[in-house]
């Protein structure tokens, strides 16, 4: 695990509500591709259910982080791609199961017209820094 410094509100910038504006880290950079709500067999989890899809997406992120020798404590940036901003509360709830409010990474949320498969409501990518 790397030593990360989080700056939720740099001078002159409005405070962040659900993320940190800046996260600094020293170590090995890890980039995770966008994760979608597929289980290990490639089957959709939670058709039409944002909460179930969000839980699966975060479970997939956890497994990818583990494969890289990282944890959610090492995550410095999350990017949320959603087909409807109404899915953000489900993503925040799933994130809260893995990342406490005092360790929020930098984040961006983007509403998109579609994802690679029409049944996907969301996709989340992550960047982490693992200690040297």
CATH at residue 83: 3.30.1330.40
pTM: 0.91
**Integer Cα distance of 7 and 66 in angstroms:** 25
- Domain limits at 86? 18-130
The model's confidence at residue 2, banded by pLDDT at 50, 70 and 90, is low
Query: Can you tell me the distance from the alpha carbon of 47 to that of 88, in angstroms, rounded to the nearest whole number?
Result: 16
Q: Is residue 6 part of a domain?
A: no
In a domain, 111, yes or no: yes
Contact (Cβ atoms closer than 8 angstroms) between residue 54 and residue 62:
no
Tell me what the mean pLDDT of segment 18-34 comes to.
Answer: 90
Domain count, the chain: 1
Q: Is residue 31 part of a domain?
A: yes
Percentage of the chain surpassing pLDDT 90?
81
Tracing tokens 């890289």 back to the chain, one arrives at: 68
* pLDDT the model gives residue 105: 96
78 contact partners, CB below 8 Å, separation of at least 6: 19, 95, 105, 106, 107, 108, 124, 125, 126
Predicted pLDDT at 1: 57
pLDDT at 91 over 90: yes
């Amino acid at each position: 695990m790397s030593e990360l410094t989080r700056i939720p509100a740099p001078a002159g910038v409005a405070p962040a509500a659900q993320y940190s504006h800046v996260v600094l880290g020293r170590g090995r950079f890890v980039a995770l591709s966008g994760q979608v709500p597929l289980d290990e067999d490639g089957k959709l989890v939670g058709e039409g259910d944002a909460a179930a899809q969000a839980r699966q997406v975060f479970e997939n992120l956890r497994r990818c982080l583990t494969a890289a020798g990282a944890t959610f404590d090492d995550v410095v940036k999350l990017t949320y791609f959603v087909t409807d901003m109404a899915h953000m509360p489900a993503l925040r709830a799933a994130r809260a199961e893995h990342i406490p409010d005092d360790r929020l990474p930098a984040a961006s949320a983007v509403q998109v017209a579609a994802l690679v498969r029409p049944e996907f409501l969301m996709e989340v990518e992550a960047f982490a820094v693992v200690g040297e």
